[in-house]
């Protein structure tokens, strides 16, 4: 039996100018942004997101993972808008 992932989306369209962008305490050149989801994603959804992230070569400088009902994007400051756009489309 094949497990299907429950669809999870960002709570709202993200406006980069209103985001809280925080410096990561572990890596000097990294920042983190928490993006709210409309629900807590199941494991199948997280696996699909992880595969899509790994397949996306143009976003290689970031890490994206689930923390409860949020996505945490850890990245350099370069092209944050493009990275969030990728998350919105995924």
Q: Coil, strand, or helix at residue 64?
A: strand
Number of domains making up the chain: 1
32 assigned to some structural domain: yes
**What is the model's pTM?**
0.76
74 assigned to some structural domain: yes
Measured distance CA(14)–CA(72) in Å, rounded: 13
pLDDT of 83 over the 50 cut: yes
Measured distance CA(68)–CA(74) in Å, rounded: 16
Task: Name residue, tokens 């980069």.
Answer: 16
pLDDT tens, position by position, 17-60: 788 889 988 888 888 989 889 999 999 989 988 888 888 766 66
13 assigned to some structural domain: no
Measured distance CA(2)–CA(12) in Å, rounded: 30
pLDDT of 1 over the 50 cut: no
1 assigned to some structural domain: no
The structure tokens listed for 10 are 């960002």
47 assigned to some structural domain: yes
Q: What is the pLDDT of residue 3?
A: 57
Q: Which domain holds residue 76?
A: 20-89
pLDDT tens, position by position, 54-64: 887 666 677 88
The structure tokens listed for 24 are 């990561």
14 assigned to some structural domain: no
6 assigned to some structural domain: no
Bridge partners of 22, per DSSP, are 32
């Amino acid at each position: 039996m094949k497990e299907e992932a429950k669809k999870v989306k960002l709570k709202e369209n993200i406006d980069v100018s209103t985001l809280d962008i925080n410096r990561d305490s572990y890596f000097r050149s990294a920042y983190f942004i928490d993006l709210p989801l409309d629900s807590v994603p199941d494991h199948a959804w997280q696996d699909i997101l992880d595969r899509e992230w790994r397949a996306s070569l143009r976003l290689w400088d970031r890490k994206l993972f689930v923390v409860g009902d949020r996505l945490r994007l850890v990245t350099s400051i370069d092209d944050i808008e493009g990275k969030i756009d990728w998350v919105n489309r995924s």
